[in-house]
Amino acid sequence: MTESALESRVEQAAVRRRQAASLIILYGILLAVATVLMGTFMFALLASLKRDPLEQPFRLAFEQIHPANWVVAWRLGRQGSGDAFWGGFGPSGDVTFELTYAAPADVELVEPAIEVPRRRPGTGMAAAVYRDFAADHIVDWTIEHAALEPFEVEVDGVVTPWQRATWTIRFRHDNEGPRIERVPLTAEAPLSQTLVDATLPPTRIERRGRVASWENITPGSLGYVFNNYRRVIKESVDLNTGNSLFVSWFKNSFFIAAGRVILTLVFATMAGYALARLRFPGNRALFMLLLVSMMIPVQVTFISNYLVIRDINLLNTPWAVIMVTIVSAQVLIMKQFFQSIPKEIEEAALMDGAGYWTTFYRIVLPMSRPALVTVTIMAFQGAWNDFFWPLVLINSPASAFTLPVGLLSLRNAYGGAGDWSLILAGAFMSTVPVLIMFMLFQRYIVDNPIASGSKE
Amino acid sequence: MNQSMLRQERTAGLMFALPFCVSLFVFFVYALVRTVLFSFQTYDLFSTPEWVGVANYIALLTDPLFALALKHSLAFAVVVTTLQTGLALLLALAANQKIKGRGAFRTIFYFPSILSSAAMTLIFLWLFQRQGLINQGLGWLSAHGGLIVTGGLLFFALQTLQFLWKRRKYTWMRWGDPFNGLVSFAVTVVVMVIMAGYGIGVRALEQPVAITWLNTREVWGPLPRTIWAIVAMNIFTTVPTLMLLYLAGLQSIPESLYEAARIEGASRWQQLRHVTWPRLMPVSFTVVTLGIIGTLQMFDQVALLGDAAPLESKVTLAYFTYHNAFPPGGSPRIGMASAAALVLATLTLILVLIQRAVGVSETTND
């Protein structure tokens, strides 16, 4: 008996069971793929919040995502500068910070040595232009010691008496100096006593546990969670102007993307219309050339393009990057769209004596909204993500870079040591505009096979 | 239609096509011609070019770095195109059902392909650090290796047992029956969780896995380890999207074809071979063409590696071209760069043509 004949004998219930099972397996596979995809991004996103994204083992729960710390950071930020979100230390700042140490009962608890170090933030270019230190603007600090509190520690059934004490430190701003972004703090105590609690968990423990250090005790809640993101903006600075490089990269990328969108819309709609509707000499040849141009890698043509741009003195300007792109894929999309709409309306307009331009501009374009949106999105995304042309055409100064090239320079600047908290934060920040675009217009992106295929 | 209207249409067509034509001619045709000319000259971007005939091509042939670049590009294109097409097809076949909520999955699957290659590459470089998540994951796998192998064996044993049991009772069942598979899988998972709870099949690692993925000269098979990391990243971003293309292709095949095949007694494999595969040819053609073009021009990922990897472990044709045109701290060798660029262009066209020829013969066979 053949397999299919056997199959037909299987009872109905079994068939239904099998269909249900294959549906479950299908969802399982789709979910697994989705989990691998989104999981990778979630892990990277979490890591971008960490002080050390390469910590081993990788923790899913860490200080920055602990809500209790957000509340504390909120309070500290408000005490320091009145800004509960981004914190800082400014005039009328008045911050209290508590440290609790513990030791066995027979060891005397001593007051920790507190210091606000004149520490420059980070390792980046910002370290060179950093001027204001919290240490210079603190008028006085007081340290108060609460009563000793006895408690018991039980190890392997042996109960030892311990004691703990809390010191409250209060910092006040001198009311004259500027608002300072961060207040670092170190607390040193003898090895015999252990730091068991603090208002915020210390950023680092140094010298075998004797010194606890905090990068910033007035972070504000957003400043606490998104410290790395703030650092990318503040620490990538132009040494000449003191402006944030990251912000100028963002602006450059936007300018180029906007220019590219306009140029693409003009070129692609006009050429697409000519190829779809108008008979002119060289029509077919142009179409073949367009197809070939989509197959030839940009690395084949970049030298001449570089020279052309150099000869017209546009190197290191955003105009160069806007100009050199060839919008073949978008022309193709427009051509296909124009061919899919009925000819009759245009023909009627032409018969009525309207010129080709009027017909195109007044009748065809208004009907082409969906295709125009698709082309706009493609052009924006392509320009925003473009790496090769900006790399070739914009070499200096660093403030003329676009975001992707800027990220490369970030990566090289922190190369060996690899300040991954900055690199990851920068990478995620650079994707925000495309993410927003994706959320708003996803049906245009997801449903378009050519757009998805011509991804760089 | 009279003469003057025809003439009007021709003028209008030329005018409409003009802006795009200018850009295409200046930045593509002229550039391509110049690349060909440069490939027969020596030029350093500043002095006047000198005609040297085929010297650049001979220099390319004797340049060990070019040989490496060529080998890496070809191997990368073949490996990535094969893996991504195969995996996408397998996943799509496994997932081929009409389902609710496909939109949500589509959105998620598209997500990596909209991000910039710079952001994606940096995230992957982070994953592939010595203390990175890839190594930590490998460490976890090797610690739980015993458990995983046991689980796999158990699944096969359970499935075979069910199969034999059914056969004994003269009930029809395929070995790969989804319902029984699900039962075996559930039992396996429960047993594995219990085993893990008791620490059976789990061993403690003496030291964490610390494979150097990027800054290494180690070569695995056709590619350096550094490029294998890029292979993983490429596949990660492309497979989900390609899978959706295949899924759409699969669902456009009419069910009646399968019914007809079943009536004629075609086995599952025969249905796949003679109904599904030929019908998927257009999709496969698109997927493979895009794959070849995309992989041969792979550049961003290599450039973003920066100083983190030696040149010999990361060079590809596209990067070789760029590296010769703008060598860090050296004088540009435009002739060499152009010759290499033309090799790259020719290679792309040849591969696409071969692919097209093979693809066409496949469809005519059936």
Q: Which residues of B touch A302 (CB under 8 A)?
A: 31, 321-322, 325
Chain A nearest-CA distance from B106, in A, is: 7
Residue of A56, A280, A302 lying closest to B136 (CB–CB): A56
- Cα–Cα distance measured from residue A412 to residue A435, given in angstroms and rounded to the nearest whole number: 26
The whole-number pLDDT of residue B138 equals: 93
Q: Which residues of B touch A29 (CB under 8 A)?
A: 91, 94-95
- Cα–Cα distance measured from residue A97 to residue A218, given in angstroms and rounded to the nearest whole number: 10
Q: Which residues of B touch A324 (CB under 8 A)?
A: 27
- Residue A122 tokens read as 């980070």
DSSP at A89: B
pLDDT digits 0-9 by tens, B121-130: 999 999 999 8
CA distances from B24 to A90, A375, B122 (A): 58, 18, 33
The whole-number pLDDT of residue B155 equals: 95
The whole-number pLDDT of residue B242 equals: 87
- Does pLDDT of B361 surpass 70? no
- Asked if B263's CB is within 8 angstroms of A304's CB, the reply is no
- Asked if B12's CB is within 8 angstroms of A407's CB, the reply is no
- Closest residue by Cα to residue A94 from A155, A36, A138, A35: A138
CB B241 within 8 A of CB B93: no
Chain A nearest-CA distance from B63, in A, is: 19
**pTM recorded for the entire structure:** 0.89
CB B257 within 8 A of CB B275: yes
Q: Which residues of B touch A298 (CB under 8 A)?
A: 297
Q: Which residues of A touch B118 (CB under 8 A)?
A: 385, 387, 403-405, 407-408, 427, 430
Residues 6+ apart with CB under 8 A from A248: A238, A399, A400, A401
pLDDT digits 0-9 by tens, B158-216: 999 998 988 887 777 778 888 889 999 999 999 999 999 998 888 888 888 889 998 88
**What is the ipTM metric for this complex?**
0.89
To test the contact with chain A by mutation, choose from B9, B16, B76 the residue with the greatest count of A C-beta atoms within 10 A, namely B16
CB A94 within 8 A of CB A79: yes
Residue of B95, B262, B344 lying closest to A29 (CB–CB): B95
Most confident of A195-199, B25-29, B107-111, B286-290: B25-29
| Residue numbers of A between 31 and 60 with CB closer than 8 Å to B | 33-34, 36-38, 40-41, 43-44, 47, 53-58
To test the contact with chain B by mutation, choose from A301, A306, A307 the residue with the greatest count of B C-beta atoms within 10 A, namely A301
- Does pLDDT of B50 surpass 80? yes
Element (H, E) at B223: strand B223-224
Instruction: For chain A, 456 residues long, give each residue's pLDDT as a single digit of tens.
Output: 455 555 555 577 888 888 888 888 888 888 998 999 999 999 999 999 998 898 888 899 899 999 999 999 999 999 988 899 999 888 888 899 999 998 888 888 888 888 888 877 665 566 666 777 877 777 767 777 777 888 888 888 888 888 888 888 888 888 887 888 888 899 998 888 889 889 999 988 888 888 999 988 999 999 999 999 998 888 888 877 878 899 999 999 999 999 999 999 999 999 999 999 998 999 999 999 999 999 899 999 999 999 999 999 999 999 999 999 999 999 999 999 999 888 888 888 888 888 889 999 988 999 898 899 989 988 999 999 999 999 999 998 889 999 999 998 888 776 555 688 889 999 999 999 999 988 888 777 666 544 444 333
Cβ burial of B46 (10 Å; 0-12, 13-18, 19+) is exposed
Sign of CA dihedral A9, A12, A15, A21: negative
Residue of A21, A25, A404 lying closest to B116 (CB–CB): A404
CA distances from B20 to A201, A269, A390, B14, B16 (A): 60, 10, 21, 10, 8
Please compute Rg for chain B using Cα positions.
27
- Closest residue by Cα to residue B319 from B303, B334, B296, B336: B303
Chain A nearest-CA distance from B210, in A, is: 11
The whole-number pLDDT of residue A414 equals: 63
To test the contact with chain B by mutation, choose from A6, A392, A407, A455 the residue with the greatest count of B C-beta atoms within 10 A, namely A455
- Asked if B26's CB is within 8 angstroms of A308's CB, the reply is yes
Please, which pLDDT band fits residue B340 given cuts at 50, 70 and 90?
very high
Residue of B35, B125, B317 lying closest to A303 (CB–CB): B35
Sign of CA dihedral B194, A31, B226, A403: negative
- Asked if B17's CB is within 8 angstroms of A438's CB, the reply is no
Beta strands in A127-207 (DSSP E): 138-145, 149-155, 158-173, 185-188, 194-198, 204-206
- Cα–Cα distance measured from residue A182 to residue A73, given in angstroms and rounded to the nearest whole number: 12
Q: Phi and psi for A124 in degrees, rounded to 5? A: -80, -165
- Asked if B125's CB is within 8 angstroms of A388's CB, the reply is no
Q: Which residues of A touch B28 (CB under 8 A)?
A: 289, 293, 296, 301, 326
To test the contact with chain A by mutation, choose from B27, B182, B255, B301 the residue with the greatest count of A C-beta atoms within 10 A, namely B27
Q: Which residue of A has its CA nearest to B140?
A: A57
- Tokens 């508590």 belong to which residue? A98
- Residue A295 tokens read as 């197959």
The whole-number pLDDT of residue A10 equals: 58
Q: Which residues of B touch A356 (CB under 8 A)?
A: 8-9, 12, 16
- Asked if B119's CB is within 8 angstroms of A38's CB, the reply is no
Chain B nearest-CA distance from A351, in A, is: 11
- Cα–Cα distance measured from residue A138 to residue B25, given in angstroms and rounded to the nearest whole number: 66
DSSP at A398: G
What does the longest C-alpha to C-alpha distance in chain B come to? 90
Count of other CB atoms within 10 angstroms of residue B131: 17
- Residue B303 tokens read as 């450039």
Q: Which residue of A has its CA nearest to B177?
A: A18
